């Protein structure tokens, strides 16, 4: 009670440090990028998901065995006319999910060009995952699973067929990315950051936190 | 005019310029060459202006209103006006820059404006600033909307407590405080800022986990032995077993404090002391025989030594062992008095032990209290990196022991001894200084102590149980004590469960050990049962994931969120200098104030094209509130030329960024109606048809003919007009219908009439000379001429001639030589225009136009620099250009 400083936990958390990564979703419009994010972040699915006009932003954390990975997710507009703005979002991203619709061959072709663009223009060690979404509609399948898998192998991509509707492989693909991301480099992590002294950023940031707690009670 | 521009044509041109052009005869559309007929009646006018050009007051006010509104004629001939009205000069220029052409400078202005942060930091303590933007009380929301300084001024009035709810609102807002717009790069800027918050996120998670520790920890009972002994500088005895192994069961942890371990001067001055080793060894061998122990930590300051032992089997669970010492003796620093401390974790419980020797002498109560406070204030436990030092009280349990030196007061020694002999401890305790000070809350706040049931431990004749018989004959006292304190965190988390707070520490016995007699003090010890928190790893993981989900949810819920009434803005047909407004409504549908701003693409500083103005390029919208943002397209002479030729379109995608959140794309669409205004003379002279009927490819091709190679292209097969038909049309009309018009060129035209004129010029061809008509009043047609000249991407006298013209401004002969080298269309237009202007002063009695006034009006249009200048230099240049034009007006047009 006499202490002014907040109580500290007594030992380092078993979860270890939190690493933060920027992840961007790319792909033709209406392949289900926003739905994948919504499923992953909020566990929801909307049959009629609005078209994204811009770049939606959400965060979600996944816990691995010894680290915690926080994704900053940028869900981009798929429409071709916004294509030129995409680099704003994949630039500096450590991970990307390129999404196509297994019932539409064109979206797979488009996904391949996205992969090429990322390989050419994004940061060189970006982790790219290919997601064949709408796997629940396998009776309308137009893209062969093995073909996409082979393509992913050739290009060093993670690959899964997903369904935002049934949630199949949605968490898995994010988890797989989290596993594959390098955790040891300083990029994105803020562990061991000095927590004392008059750090201006703390002044700004600690208040919202305190408020959050106040609210939640 | 279909004149082939071969060298023979130059003869025609010379003829044309040889004499005054008869305007009534001149028809650029006929294929016949220009008839250089000199109208005998029209003698050259050489008249000095009878009066200085009156600054028409209606003009001045007119310009002011125009530049602040967005009417079609805005900004028109501001050069001209500012020539006459120097004092309005700056104002008009500034407004122009801001309103129309200067989006970048508008941006700069915004940036230079003091930010909220700096406002408040100036006036208030630095830690006020997070509250600024966080306010969501409705009254302040209103003020916030305006983003004016009045918004800032409310801040100090608001109590920070009231704001605490909204302080949570978003990390985004606090980011905004620190946002440096220069370095901000949209999506990537976001990344940089949030990573700053990641450390805070970790801290927050730790806080959450601490609050929920009951959910993933279980309690494991431990035994703790806490002993203290002032050994009076004696050598250790053979064993301490009567003290340290007093209990039947072996303690899990020992904390043992000694005072006056070494009274030698050497110990006082040097860090080394042989006694340390001797006492440590004897303590080690005296630990409970039923268990194996290891030394966790030893810390010594002069005579104060603290030893921590633990059972070997706990070794892996005892972590983060740190120590510190604080001297409060001589000079408030020396180590003869003070305290030594050790902190460590056992499993998940944190323990801090302090062994202190406070100031001596019965009357020094305040001194002792002060020593205690000093130790509390100065003792800090830091890790090897010196980071995040902890205080004594940032632990689950604090055990404080030592020779605290508090005495029994208000009683004579004999009286005390008598009470002791009859076992009347009650009276003694009433006069025990420490208990009194504790009751009064002066020292050891919230500490607990066991009930004292043992004889005072001071002062004996060494080696005996006999009270001090020395000269001083000290009264007996309970100098040696053990106290403890459980800090709040445990109780807080359990209060929530509305159960009775389970104590971590349970005192089992509090006693002294008379068997050890070498010192003038007897040792004291307290044995505790201690419930240590042990983490269940599986449960921890589950709780951790739950909490991180909760944190994610909170973060996502508190992200700024908006809906837009539309993602596309359609402007429809847009004409030259005709503003079109559309608006989009922002609705804050999130839970936090939205700080929005339009951002450039890929680090571009400009967030929109120069033909667009956004009413609010950045600002705030409070939750549930709406804000309309207006987009205004206005094509001025600078942006017109590329739109005319179709190399640029009225299309763009704007990025509306919510600070700390998502981006919206807003697509703009408009169709620019090509106009002769803003087209180049080269292109216009090649257009036989109205511009709106000309193939865009041709326009693009023609626009690429630069002034420099215009002459060369003359030799091509192209049949060009001598002067643009649109210019001919206006001048023909003005000459025939308006030359006697009072206040010609001094009274502005009407906006809608100008539009009609523009439509006319852009979609029709003129008819026969003298029969052309233009809609609207003469004044509107006159203004159309000024607009036409002003909008020329390359003025009548090309930019590259500007400086040379100024150099020869007073020498007509030289300037004529110079202008002969101008491209042919520019020469033609210049001659034609001068010829027309020379006509006007002949009717000065009616139209009020003197030569000087005409020169003043037209100089800035005909002869203007590529870069607008300012200040005295601009004024001098303007004067020169007026003289330049005036010379021409007062002379016969001779060959160019």
Read off the pLDDT of residues A37-78 as tens digits, 9 standing for 90 and up.
Answer: 999 999 999 999 999 999 999 999 998 888 889 999 999 999
Q: What is the pLDDT of residues B217-263, one digit of tens each?
A: 888 999 999 999 999 999 999 999 999 999 999 999 999 999 998 88
CB contacts, 8 Å: A41 with chain B: 552, 556
- When scoring B135, B161, B167 by the number of chain A Cβ atoms within 10 A, the one with the most, hence best to mutate, is B167
Structure-model confidence comparison of residues B6 and B533, the more confident one? B533
Is A70 in contact with B664 (Cβ distance < 8 A)?
A: no
Residue of A nearest to B485 (CA): A1
CB contacts, 8 Å: B655 with chain A: 54, 85, 88
CB contacts, 8 Å: A92 with chain B: 187-188, 191
Does a cis peptide bond (omega within 30 degrees of 0) precede residue B546? no
What pLDDT was estimated at residue B716? 52
CA distances from B50 to B42, B843, B853 (A): 20, 13, 11
- Region B129-149: what's the mean pLDDT? 37
- Region B94-111: what's the mean pLDDT? 35
Q: What is the pLDDT of residues B854-891, one digit of tens each?
A: 999 999 999 999 888 888 888 999 999 999 999 888 87
Q: Which two tokens stand for residue B885?
A: 């034009």
Q: What is the pLDDT of residues B104-127, one digit of tens each?
A: 333 333 333 333 333 333 333 333
* Smallest Cα distance from A21 to chain B, Å: 9
Say yes or no to pLDDT of B133 above 60: no
Nearest Cα residue to A125 out of A73, A63, A185: A185
Q: List % helix, strand, coil for chain A (3-state, nearest 5).
A: 40, 20, 40
Nearest Cα residue to B482 out of B227, B299, B222: B227
Please say whether the beta carbons of B325 and B306 come within 8 A. no
Handedness of CA B226, B231, B233, B236 (dihedral sign): negative
Is A89 in contact with B187 (Cβ distance < 8 A)?
A: yes
Structure-model confidence comparison of residues B192 and B337, the more confident one? B337
Q: For tokens 């257009």, name the residue.
A: B687
Structure-model confidence comparison of residues B264 and B726, the more confident one? B726
**Euclidean distance between CA atoms B364 and B184, whole angstroms:** 62
Say yes or no to pLDDT of B78 above 50: no
CB contacts, 8 Å: A38 with chain B: none
CB contacts, 8 Å: B446 with chain A: 1-2
The answer for B 624-653 residues in CB contact with A (under 8 A) is 653
- Strands of the B612-614 sheet, one edge to the other: B562-564, B580-588, B626-633, B612-614
Structure-model confidence comparison of residues B99 and B818, the more confident one? B818
Is A92 in contact with B191 (Cβ distance < 8 A)?
A: yes
Please say whether the beta carbons of B325 and B340 come within 8 A. yes
Structure-model confidence comparison of residues B83 and B452, the more confident one? B452
What pLDDT was estimated at residue B145? 38
Q: How far is CA B691 from the centre of its chain?
A: 48
CB contacts, 8 Å: B133 with chain A: none
Residue of A nearest to B568 (CA): A53
**Euclidean distance between CA atoms B4 and B6, whole angstroms:** 6
- When scoring B192, B200, B448 by the number of chain A Cβ atoms within 10 A, the one with the most, hence best to mutate, is B200
Residues in contact with A96: Cβ distance below 8 Å, sequence separation at least 6, in sequence order: A23, A24, A25, A26, A90, A118, A122, A126, A127, A128, A129
Highest mean pLDDT among B138-152, B636-650, B848-862: B848-862
Q: CA neighbours within 13 Å on the CB side: how many for B575?
A: 20
The answer for B 733-762 residues in CB contact with A (under 8 A) is none
Say yes or no to pLDDT of A155 above 70: yes
Say yes or no to pLDDT of A5 above 50: no
**Euclidean distance between CA atoms B785 and B858, whole angstroms:** 10
CB contacts, 8 Å: A56 with chain B: 662
**Euclidean distance between CA atoms B642 and B667, whole angstroms:** 20
Cβ pairs bridging A and B (under 8 Å):
222
Is B168 in contact with A72 (Cβ distance < 8 A)?
A: no
* Smallest Cα distance from A28 to chain B, Å: 17
CB contacts, 8 Å: B380 with chain A: none
**Euclidean distance between CA atoms B589 and B624, whole angstroms:** 6
* Smallest Cα distance from A30 to chain B, Å: 17
Q: For tokens 């630990």, name the residue.
A: B287
Interface check for B168 against chain A (CB to CB < 8 A): the answer is yes
* Smallest Cα distance from B555 to chain A, Å: 7
What pLDDT was estimated at residue B659? 92
- Region A140-149: what's the mean pLDDT? 96
- Region A176-181: what's the mean pLDDT? 95
Q: Which two tokens stand for residue B662?
A: 């998502």
CB contacts, 8 Å: B603 with chain A: none
What pLDDT was estimated at residue B641? 86
Is A204 in contact with B191 (Cβ distance < 8 A)?
A: no
What pLDDT was estimated at residue B51? 39
Is A208 in contact with B390 (Cβ distance < 8 A)?
A: no
Interface check for B34 against chain A (CB to CB < 8 A): the answer is no
Is B196 in contact with A190 (Cβ distance < 8 A)?
A: yes
Please say whether the beta carbons of B311 and B252 come within 8 A. yes
- pTM of the prediction? 0.63
Return the number of other C-beta atoms located less than 10 Å from residue B165's C-beta. 14
Handedness of CA B175, B180, B186, B190 (dihedral sign): negative
Handedness of CA A117, A119, A123, A126 (dihedral sign): positive
Long-range contacts of B95-101 (CB under 8 A, 24+ apart): B95/B67, B95/B68, B96/B67, B99/B67, B99/B68, B99/B70, B99/B74, B99/B75, B99/B613, B100/B74, B100/B75, B100/B613, B100/B634, B100/B636, B101/B610, B101/B636, B101/B638, B101/B639
What pLDDT was estimated at residue A217? 30
What pLDDT was estimated at residue B197? 58
What pLDDT was estimated at residue B707? 58
- Candidate from B175, B198, B662 with C-beta closest to A55: B662
Could you list the beta-strand ranges (E) of B466-550: 480-486, 505-512, 524-535
- Give the DSSP letter string of B626-691: EEEEEEEE-B-HHHHHHHHTTSS-SEEEEEEEETTS-EEEEEEEEEE---STT--HHHHTT-SS-G
- Region B370-387: what's the mean pLDDT? 89
What pLDDT was estimated at residue A7? 36
Handedness of CA B681, B686, B688, B693 (dihedral sign): negative
Q: For tokens 């993670």, name the residue.
A: A158
Nearest Cα residue to B544 out of A102, A16, A55: A16
| Total number of residues shown for chain A | 217
CB contacts, 8 Å: A68 with chain B: 548
Interface check for B167 against chain A (CB to CB < 8 A): the answer is yes
Say yes or no to pLDDT of B773 above 80: yes
- Candidate from B196, B206, B552 with C-beta closest to A59: B552
pLDDT-based confidence at residue B711 (cuts at 50, 70, 90): low
Return the number of other C-beta atoms located less than 10 Å from residue B37's C-beta. 14
Structure-model confidence comparison of residues B114 and B648, the more confident one? B648
Say yes or no to pLDDT of B207 above 90: no
Interface check for B466 against chain A (CB to CB < 8 A): the answer is no
- Candidate from A13, A189, A216 with C-beta closest to B209: A13
Is B210 in contact with A202 (Cβ distance < 8 A)?
A: no
DSSP B25: T
- Candidate from B195, B213, B552 with C-beta closest to A61: B552
Structure-model confidence comparison of residues B204 and A106, the more confident one? A106
What pLDDT was estimated at residue A172? 96
Q: How far is CA B506 from the centre of its chain?
A: 53
CB contacts, 8 Å: A2 with chain B: 393, 445-446
Mean pLDDT of chain B: 77
What pLDDT was estimated at residue B657? 94
**Euclidean distance between CA atoms B858 and B782, whole angstroms:** 12
What pLDDT was estimated at residue B810? 84
What pLDDT was estimated at residue B209? 87
What pLDDT was estimated at residue B29? 44
Q: How far is CA A62 from the centre of its chain?
A: 10
What pLDDT was estimated at residue B408? 94
Structure-model confidence comparison of residues B638 and A130, the more confident one? A130
**Euclidean distance between CA atoms B862 and B866, whole angstroms:** 12
- Region B565-583: what's the mean pLDDT? 94
Please say whether the beta carbons of B3 and B722 come within 8 A. yes
3-state secondary structure (DSSP) of residue B420: helix
**Euclidean distance between CA atoms B493 and A7, whole angstroms:** 12
Please say whether the beta carbons of B253 and B342 come within 8 A. no
CA distances from B589 to B61, B326, B878 (A): 44, 56, 55
**Euclidean distance between CA atoms A108 and A81, whole angstroms:** 18
Structure-model confidence comparison of residues B348 and B284, the more confident one? B284
Please say whether the beta carbons of A25 and A76 come within 8 A. yes
- When scoring A85, A197, A207 by the number of chain B Cβ atoms within 10 A, the one with the most, hence best to mutate, is A207
CB contacts, 8 Å: A13 with chain B: 205-206, 209, 540, 544
**Euclidean distance between CA atoms B492 and B490, whole angstroms:** 5
Say yes or no to pLDDT of B163 above 50: no
Residue of A nearest to B346 (CA): A10
Please say whether the beta carbons of B130 and B167 come within 8 A. yes
What pLDDT was estimated at residue B501? 57
Say yes or no to pLDDT of B714 above 90: no
Say yes or no to pLDDT of B489 above 70: no
pLDDT-based confidence at residue B205 (cuts at 50, 70, 90): confident
- When scoring B189, B197, B485, B494 by the number of chain A Cβ atoms within 10 A, the one with the most, hence best to mutate, is B197
* Smallest Cα distance from B210 to chain A, Å: 6
What pLDDT was estimated at residue B699? 80
**Euclidean distance between CA atoms B479 and B406, whole angstroms:** 5
Is B206 in contact with A9 (Cβ distance < 8 A)?
A: yes
pLDDT-based confidence at residue B384 (cuts at 50, 70, 90): confident
The answer for B 174-213 residues in CB contact with A (under 8 A) is 174-175, 177-178, 186-188, 190-191, 194-210, 213
What pLDDT was estimated at residue B720? 83
- Give the DSSP letter string of B133-199: TT---HHHHHHHHHTSHHHHHTGGGS-HHHHHHHHTS-HHHHHHHH--TTT--THHHHHHHHHHHHH
Interface check for B504 against chain A (CB to CB < 8 A): the answer is no
Long-range contacts of A142-146 (CB under 8 A, 24+ apart): A142/A102, A142/A103, A142/A104, A142/A105, A142/A108, A143/A100, A143/A101, A143/A102, A143/A103, A143/A104, A143/A105, A143/A108, A145/A102
* Smallest Cα distance from B394 to chain A, Å: 6
CB contacts, 8 Å: A194 with chain B: 387-388
What pLDDT was estimated at residue B217? 87
- Region B315-334: what's the mean pLDDT? 86
Strand-pairing partners, residue B596, are B619, B658
- Region B560-589: what's the mean pLDDT? 94
Please say whether the beta carbons of B818 and B808 come within 8 A. yes
Q: For tokens 């509609």, name the residue.
A: A137
Q: Which two tokens stand for residue B614?
A: 């956004």
**Euclidean distance between CA atoms B232 and A99, whole angstroms:** 79
Residues in contact with A186: Cβ distance below 8 Å, sequence separation at least 6, in sequence order: none
Q: What is the pLDDT of residues B408-427, one digit of tens each?
A: 998 989 999 999 999 899 99
Nearest Cα residue to B578 out of B650, B667, B684, B680: B650
Say yes or no to pLDDT of B46 above 70: no
């Amino acid at each position: 009670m006499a202490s002014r400083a907040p109580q500290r936990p007594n030992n380092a958390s078993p979860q270890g440090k939190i690493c933060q990564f920027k992840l961007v979703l790319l792909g033709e419009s209406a392949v289900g990028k926003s739905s994948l994010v919504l499923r992953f972040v909020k566990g929801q699915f909307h049959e009629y998901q609005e078209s994204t006009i811009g770049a939606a932003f959400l965060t979600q954390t996944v816990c691995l065995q010894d680290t915690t990975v926080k994704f900053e997710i940028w869900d981009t507009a798929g429409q071709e006319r916004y294509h030129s703005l995409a680099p704003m979002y994949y630039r500096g991203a450590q991970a990307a999910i390129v999404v196509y619709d297994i019932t539409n061959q064109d979206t797979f072709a488009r996904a391949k060009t996205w992969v090429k663009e990322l390989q050419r223009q994004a940061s060189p060690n970006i982790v790219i995952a290919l997601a064949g979404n709408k796997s629940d509609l396998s009776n309308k399948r137009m893209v062969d699973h093995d073909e996409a898998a082979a393509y992913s192998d050739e290009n060093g991509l993670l690959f899964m067929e997903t369904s935002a509707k049934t949630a199949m492989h949605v968490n898995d693909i994010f988890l797989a990315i989290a596993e594959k991301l390098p955790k040891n480099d300083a990029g994105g992590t803020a562990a061991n950051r000095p927590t004392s002294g008059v750090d201006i950023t703390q002044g700004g940031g600690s208040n919202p936190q305190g408020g959050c707690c106040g609210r939640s009670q | 005019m279909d004149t082939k521009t071969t060298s023979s044509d130059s003869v025609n041109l010379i003829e044309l310029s040889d004499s005054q052009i008869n305007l009534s005869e001149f028809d650029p559309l006929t294929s016949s060459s220009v008839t250089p007929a000199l109208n005998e009646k029209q003698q050259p006018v050489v008249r000095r202006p009878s009066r200085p050009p009156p600054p028409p007051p209606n003009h001045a006010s007119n310009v002011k209103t125009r530049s602040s509104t967005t009417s079609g004629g805005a900004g028109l001939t501001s050069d001209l006006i500012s020539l006459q009205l120097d004092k309005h000069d700056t104002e008009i220029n500034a407004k122009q820059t801001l309103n129309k052409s200067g989006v970048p400078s508008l941006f700069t202005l915004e940036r230079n404006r003091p930010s909220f942060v700096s406002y408040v930091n100036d006036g208030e303590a630095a830690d006020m600033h997070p509250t600024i933007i966080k306010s969501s009380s409705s009254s302040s929301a209103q003020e916030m909307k305006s983003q004016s300084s009045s918004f800032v001024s409310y801040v100090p009035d608001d109590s920070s407590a009231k704001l605490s709810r909204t302080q949570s609102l978003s990390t985004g807002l606090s980011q905004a405080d620190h946002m440096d717009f220069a370095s901000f790069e949209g999506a990537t800027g976001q990344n940089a800022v949030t990573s700053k918050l990641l450390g805070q996120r970790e801290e927050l998670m730790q806080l959450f986990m601490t609050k929920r520790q009951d959910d993933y920890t279980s309690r494991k009972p431990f035994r703790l032995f806490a002993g203290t002994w002032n050994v009076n500088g004696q050598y250790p005895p053979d064993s301490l077993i009567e003290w340290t192994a007093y209990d039947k069961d072996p303690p899990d942890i020992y904390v043992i404090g000694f005072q006056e371990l070494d009274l030698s001067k050497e110990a006082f001055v040097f860090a080394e002391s042989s006694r340390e080793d001797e006492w440590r060894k004897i303590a080690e061998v005296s630990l409970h025989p039923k268990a194996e122990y290891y030394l966790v930590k030893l810390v010594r300051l002069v005579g104060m030594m603290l030893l921590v032992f633990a059972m070997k089997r706990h070794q892996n669970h005892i972590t983060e062992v740190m120590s510190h010492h604080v001297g409060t003796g001589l000079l408030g620093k020396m180590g003869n008095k003070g305290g030594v401390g050790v902190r460590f974790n056992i499993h998940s419980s944190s323990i801090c032990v302090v062994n202190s020797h406070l100031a001596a002498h019965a009357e020094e109560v305040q001194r002792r209290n002060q020593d205690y406070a000093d130790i509390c204030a100065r003792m800090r436990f830091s890790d090897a990196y010196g980071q995040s030092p902890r205080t004594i009280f940032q632990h689950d349990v604090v055990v404080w022991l030592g020779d605290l030196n508090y005495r029994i007061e208000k009683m004579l020694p004999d009286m005390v001894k008598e009470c002791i002999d009859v076992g009347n401890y009650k009276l003694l305790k009433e006069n025990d200084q420490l208990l009194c000070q504790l009751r009064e809350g002066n020292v050891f706040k919230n500490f607990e102590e066991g009930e004292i049931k043992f004889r005072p431990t001071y002062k004996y004749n060494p080696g005996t149980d006999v009270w001090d018989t020395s000269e001083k004959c000290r009264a007996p006292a309970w100098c040696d004590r053990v106290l403890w304190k459980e800090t709040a965190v445990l109780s807080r988390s359990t209060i929530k469960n509305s159960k009775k707070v389970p104590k971590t520490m349970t005192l089992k016995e509090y006693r002294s050990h008379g068997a050890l007699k070498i010192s003038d003090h007897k040792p004291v010890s307290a044995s505790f049962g201690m419930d240590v928190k042990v983490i269940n790893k599986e449960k921890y993981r589950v709780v951790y994931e739950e909490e991180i989900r909760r944190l994610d949810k909170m973060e996502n819920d508190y992200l700024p969120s908006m809906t837009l009434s539309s993602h596309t803005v359609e402007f429809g047909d847009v004409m030259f200098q005709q503003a079109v407004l559309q608006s989009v409504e922002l609705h804050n549908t999130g839970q936090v104030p939205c700080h929005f701003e339009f951002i450039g693409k890929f680090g571009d500083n400009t967030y929109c094209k120069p033909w667009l103005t956004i009413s609010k390029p950045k600002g705030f919208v409070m939750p549930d509130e709406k804000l309309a943002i207006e987009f205004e397209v206005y094509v001025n002479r600078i942006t017109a030329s590329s739109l005319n030729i179709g190399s640029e379109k009225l299309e763009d995608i704007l990025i509306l960024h919510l600070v700390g959140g998502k981006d919206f794309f807003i697509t703009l669409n408009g169709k620019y109606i090509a106009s002769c205004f803003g087209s180049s003379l080269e292109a216009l002279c090649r257009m036989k048809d109205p511009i709106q009927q000309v193939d865009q490819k041709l326009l693009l091709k023609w626009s690429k003919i630069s002034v420099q190679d215009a002459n060369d292209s003359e030799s091509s097969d192209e049949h060009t007009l001598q002067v643009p038909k649109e210019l001919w049309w206006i001048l023909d009309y003005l000459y025939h219908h308006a030359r006697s018009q009072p206040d010609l060129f001094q009274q502005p035209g009407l906006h809608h009439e100008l539009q009609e004129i523009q439509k006319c010029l852009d979609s029709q061809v003129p008819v026969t000379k003298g029969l052309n008509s233009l809609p609207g009043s003469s004044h509107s047609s006159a203004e159309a001429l000024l607009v036409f000249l002003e909008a020329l991407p390359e003025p009548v006298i090309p930019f590259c001639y500007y400086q040379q013209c100024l150099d020869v401004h007073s020498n007509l002969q030289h300037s004529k030589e110079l202008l002969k080298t101008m491209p042919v269309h520019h020469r033609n237009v210049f001659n034609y225009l001068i010829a027309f202007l020379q006509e006007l002063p002949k009717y000065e009695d009616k139209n009020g136009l003197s030569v000087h006034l005409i020169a003043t009006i037209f100089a800035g249009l005909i002869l203007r620099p590529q870069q607008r200048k300012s200040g005295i230099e601009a004024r001098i240049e303007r004067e020169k250009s007026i003289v330049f034009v005036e010379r021409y007006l007062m002379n016969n047009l001779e060959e160019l």
